[in-house]
Structure 1
């Protein structure tokens, strides 16, 4: 007598792997929403990125100047 695990009946497991149902995934919509953005958001993001770069450059400049003072 061979016992079957629950959920592995003859009507189930019709997917590409035995015992596992194929569940259609809706990745396309998620991918589109993740990749798409409004132009206004891009402009805001670009401005923020530029400010962050300038801040980082200023910090690096200050560190270099401080290093020169202590040489």
Structure 2
């Protein structure tokens, strides 16, 4: 049986052209900026580095909380 993952397909790349940030038009990703790409069905969502770091930190906390809960219920 293959091991599944809760983490979707994610890449770090360089923007080929300038565009607005995925979640807010107030953020702009310029051509040449490093960005986080997250697979969203058949397309990609793009995030600037500052927001990507916040998203990752938040998700690590969520995964840690899930791990703690699983550990608590599996102990006698």
TM-score (norm 1): 0.39
Question: Rg bigger for which structure?
Answer: 1
Write 1 or 2 for the structure with the bigger share of helix. 1
Write 1 or 2 for the structure with the bigger share of strand. 2
TM-score (norm 2): 0.37
